[in-house]
Structure 1
């Protein structure tokens, strides 16, 4: 009798183990992002422009997923460690190329220098900025500023937040801050600074393209990226992509007035 009971207990245990394995395998893959207003954020309309683009592309491809918001550093590490399927929005850098596979770019934003309104130096080439200080928040990609630093044109100042960069420009602790205009003006408003204290220099510092990334070691990474790429092409072709851009730009521009 004890042998029979032992057999059924063992059998039940195996069945529960197999059930748990099946459930784990059928759970939707987790895609992580963070808070980066006005592009991504839990409190933004539809999660922000980039979130709506990514979700629309995945839905168009009929790709199952679960979206989660995490602190940037944690989400980045979870993506490397394959604890999640993918992360966004990330730019392509030398360090990341060694770690990740990239989707097709799903958004591009031109990066320009924000300066104090009194800035009067003529800027047509990199060397025109020699001797100035540029702000770059800790943890942000250095690549956009690398050429200026390597040529010893600019001195780097690294606070913990982008708010500190704009406050540094206001107090003239720093001279320059390179960021895309949409995020820049939004950050100025968020920091409760007067936008009339700032202006943007015309030359484009860098064209930033943003991607979904998966770890090179994730066994389903290629399949997931293929689904996303199929979806992003589909929403561009049917006009959904442009409608998302137009809608969010109206929201953003309304916030800046």
Structure 2
């Protein structure tokens, strides 16, 4: 029965190669993370809502996640060098697209302009803020709409390492405005400022800017394309199960100051 033996041999060969391929498929990804409540934090349940979303998406395709918490600049550099596999949640810029592989968007959130009510702002377009000092985080793309005014010196930028420092500067009048996501901005206000300082902080309803957020994976690792494809598939799965909407609920309900 030569044909039967040949068929059996072919099936065994396919099984062997299939098993080898499956064995080579990574079942864990190492991601750098940071402090940006309520989205990401080492002290929050599930490391924050965005971390929980990433964990769930990878879990849906059989991949575990290991998180390492670092200052944001270092978090990105470690992935750029391939020391860690990926990082999130980041907006795309031409430079980041050149350095990293990017996932489909996780979600889109609105940036607003925060100000100190003791020095109220009346602005509806970036040009209305000429001569002001903008507070911003290191490695943050927030404030992109002000880039031409920053480049020509019409707006000065003061950069700090975290949201606590950023909103403390705003409360003390050391900067005139801060572009940040509405949710994370008020989260920082409520967590880091005194009740009296909290009452001073508001945001402009006339100026918003939409940002889409992504997982970034190093181009220095062999499994980069596999991780991106797997994550995108995982996102679709958890959207279908309803887990996506359950996890990001906290992200789309900004806190306000009474």
Task: Give TM-score, length-normalised by structure 1.
Answer: 0.80
Task: Give the aligned partner of residue 53 of structure 1.
Answer: 53
Gaps of 5+ in 2: 1-22
CA distance in 2, matches of 1:232, 1:27: 17
Check whether the contact 2:170–2:176 (CA below 8 A) recurs between aligned residues: yes
Match of 1:241 among 240, 244, 253: 244
Compared CA separation, residues 141 and 240, structure 1 to 2 (3 A): same
- Alignment correspondent of 1:183: 184
Q: 1:105 & 1:61 partners in 2: Cα distance?
A: 18
Aligned pairs for 1:97-176 (under 5 A) are 97-141=97-141, 144=144, 145-176=146-177
Q: Does 1:199 align with 2:202?
A: yes
Cα distance, 1:220–1:189 mapped onto 2, change above 3 Å:
same
Conserved 8 A contact 2:142-2:179 = no
Q: Give deviations 1:46-87, integer Å, cap 9, x for gaps.
A: 211100110111111222432333333332222112122211
Q: Distance in 2 between matches of 1:135 and 1:216?
A: 32
Deviation larger for 119-128 or 180-189 = 119-128
Residue 247 of structure 1 and its aligned partner are, at CA, apart by 5.2
Give the C-alpha shift of residue 207 in structure 1. Answer: 1.4
1:227 pairs with 221, 226, 230, which one? 230
Aligned to 1:18: none
**CA 1:232 to 1:24, structure 2 compared with 1: closer, same or farther past 3 Å?**
closer
Structure-1 separation of matches of 2:250 and 2:71: 27
Deviation (angstroms), 1:237 = 2.3
Structure 1 residue aligned with 2:81: 81
After TM superposition, give the deviation of residue 231 of structure 1 in Å.
0.7
CA 1:247–1:139: 2 relative to 1, 3 Å = closer
Give, in angstroms, the shift of residue 134 of structure 1: 0.9
Give 3-state SS (helix, strand or coil) of 1:36's partner.
Answer: coil
TM-score (norm 2): 0.80
What are the Cα deviations for residues 189-223 of structure 1, in whole angstroms up to 9, with x where unaligned? 22233321111001344212211111223211011
User: Which protein is richer in strand relative to its size?
Assistant: 2
Q: C-alpha distance in 1, partners of 2:102/2:163?
A: 26
**d(CA) in 2 for partners of 1:160 and 1:67?**
20
CA RMSD of aligned residues (A): 2.6
Q: Say if 1:61 and 1:80 are closer, same or farther in 2 by CA, change over 3 A.
A: same
- Matched positions, count: 233
Shift in CA distance, 213/176, structure 1 to aligned 2, threshold 3 Å: same
SS at match of 1:53: helix
Change beyond 3 A, Cα 1:64–1:129: same
- Structure 1: state its 5+ residue gaps: 1-22
1:112 deviates by 0.9
The answer on whether the counterparts of 1:50 and 1:107 sit within 8 Å (CA) in structure 2 is: no
Distance 1:249 1:110 in 2: 9
SS in 1 for 2:28: coil
What is the distance in 2 between the residues matched to 1:230 and 1:25?
A: 15
- The alpha-carbon deviation at position 113 of structure 1 amounts to 0.8
**Is the aligned partner of 1:69 residue 2:61?**
no
